[in-house]
C-alpha cells in the first residue's frame, strides 16, 4: 500500500510525467489538473514517437492522436483521430468540461479545438518520425512488434490525499495504422476507467486487444467485486489472452490502483514497466507478465 497522494503512469516516460503531475498537485491541489499536466509533458517529448504530434504517422504519413481523461465522479471526455493539436489531453478535458458530449473525433474535434482557441500546428512529421516512415514505406508491412517504440502510450492514474481519483491517457496510436483507426486510449472503459468508489485503471499495448475486453472497465469492476488491483490486472490479461488470436505477437499491459492505495500491474509479455510517484518518491517498477 502506497501513501497518498499517489500517481502511477505507464513506461519510462512516466517518471518525468509523474514529477510534473505531483508538482501540479502541490500547486493547485487538483488531481484532475495533475493527471492532465503530467501527460502534457509526454505529449511534448520529442524523443517519444508514440505520443503527441511527433509520434509515428499512419500509413498515409499523417499523425493522428487519441486521448481521454476521467475523474472519479464519472465525468469524462475524449478525442479520437484528431490532427494538428499539440495537447489532445487538454482538448479531451475541454470536451468533458465544455460540451454535453463525451467524445469528439476527427475534423469535428479539430474544429472544436479551433473554437476553443487551441493552437493548430503545421502538419509535418517530426524529423525522427519522417525518417522512420520513409524506411517503413520501403516494405510497407504492418505487423505490431512487441515493446518497441510503437508501444509506449502514456496512461496515468492518480489519487489525491482525500482519495479522489482521476486518470488520463494519450497516444499517437499504433505506428502505420490505417487512416482513421482509433485505439483503446480514447475509449472510456478500454484505455482508461476511474471510479471514486473503487479505483482506477489504464491500459497500454495493442488497442484492438484491449477494446475487445473493455480492459480498464473490467479491472475496475473486478476490484469492485473484491479483487485486489493485482488480481484484477491478472484476470484482465487472462481474459485478453483468451479473446485474441496470435497472442505471441500482441503486447498489452494494465496498471491499476484501488482507493486504499494498493497497486496492480500485469502484462501479456515481459517488458512492461510503470512509474510510481508520491510526494517524496518517484521510481520505476517492473511489471510481471503472463508469459
Measure the CA–CA gap between 165 and 15, rounded to whole angstroms.
Answer: 19
Determine the interface stretch with ligand SD4 among 52-60, 115-123, 167-175, 233-241 (rule: CB under 6 A): 167-175
Using CB under 6 A, which residues numbered 247 to 266 contact ligand SD4?
none
Task: Give how far Cα 236 sits from Cα of 9, 166, 230, Å.
Answer: 18, 21, 10
- Work out how close the CB of 191 gets to ligand SD4 at its nearest, in angstroms, rounded to a whole number: 6
Catalytic residue chosen out of the listed positions 64, 71, 153, 171: 153
- 35 annotated to a ligand binding site: no
- DSSP letters spanning 65-125: EEEEEEETTS-EEEEEEE-SBS-HHHHHHHHHHHSS-SEEEHHHHHHHHHHTTPPBPP---
3-state helix, strand, coil in the chain (%, to 5): 35, 25, 40
Determine the interface stretch with ligand SD4 among 67-75, 115-123, 166-174, 261-269 (rule: CB under 6 A): 166-174
Using CB under 6 A, which residues numbered 168 to 207 contact ligand SD4?
171, 173-174, 183-185, 204-207
**Cβ proximity to ligand SD4, 204 vs 258, nearer residue:** 204
- Work out how close the CB of 10 gets to ligand SD4 at its nearest, in angstroms, rounded to a whole number: 7
Interaction between residue 43 and ligand SD4 (CB under 6 A)? no
The C-alpha cell of 172 is what?
499517437
Instruction: Check if the beta carbon of residue 10 is closer than 8 Å to that of residue 114.
Output: no
Is 153 labeled as catalytic in the residue annotation?
yes
- 204 annotated to a ligand binding site: yes
The set of catalytic residues is 153
Residues that bind ligand SD4 in the complex, under the rule CB under 6 A = 50, 151-153, 171, 173-174, 183-185, 204-207
Amino acid at each position: 500500500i502506497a501513501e497518498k497522494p499517489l500517481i502511477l503512469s505507464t513506461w519510462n516516460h512516466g517518471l518525468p510525467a509523474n514529477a510534473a503531475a505531483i508538482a501540479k498537485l502541490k500547486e493547485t491541489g487538483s488531481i484532475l489538473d495533475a493527471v492532465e499536466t503530467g501527460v502534457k509533458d509526454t505529449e511534448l517529448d520529442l524523443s517519444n514517437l508514440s505520443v503527441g504530434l511527433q509520434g509515428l504517422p499512419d500509413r498515409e504519413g499523417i499523425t493522428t492522436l487519441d486521448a481521454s481523461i476521467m475523474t472519479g465522479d464519472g465525468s469524462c471526455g475524449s478525442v479520437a483521430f484528431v490532427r494538428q493539436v499539440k495537447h489532445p489531453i487538454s482538448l479531451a478535458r475541454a470536451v468533458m468540461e465544455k460540451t454535453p458530449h463525451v467524445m469528439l473525433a476527427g475534423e469535428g474535434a479539430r474544429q472544436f479545438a479551433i473554437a476553443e482557441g487551441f493552437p493548430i500546428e503545421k502538419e509535418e512529421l517530426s524529423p525522427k518520425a519522417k525518417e522512420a516512415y520513409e524506411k517503413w514505406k520501403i516494405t510497407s508491412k504492418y505487423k505490431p512488434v512487441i515493446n518497441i517504440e510503437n508501444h509506449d502510450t502514456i496512461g496515468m492514474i492518480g489519487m489525491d490525499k482525500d482519495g479522489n481519483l482521476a486518470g488520463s491517457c494519450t497516444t499517437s496510436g499504433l505506428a502505420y495504422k490505417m487512416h482513421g483507426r482509433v485505439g483503446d486510449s480514447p475509449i472510456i472503459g478500454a484505455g482508461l476507467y476511474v471510479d471514486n468508489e473503487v479505483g482506477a485503471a489504464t491500459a497500454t499495448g495493442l488497442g484492438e486487444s484491449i477494446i475487445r475486453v473493455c480492459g480498464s472497465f473490467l479491472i475496475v469492476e473486478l476490484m469492485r467485486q473484491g479483487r485486489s488491483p493485482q488480481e484484477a490486472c491478472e484476470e484482465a490479461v487472462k481474459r485478453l489472452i483468451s479473446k485474441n488470436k496470435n497472442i505471441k505477437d500482441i503486447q498489452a499491459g494494465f496498471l491499476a490502483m484501488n482507493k486504499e492505495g494498493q497497486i496492480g500491474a500485469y502484462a501479456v509479455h515481459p517488458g512492461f514497466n510503470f512509474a510510481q510517484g508520491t510526494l517524496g518518491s518517484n521510481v520505476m517498477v517492473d511489471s510481471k507478465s503472463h508469459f
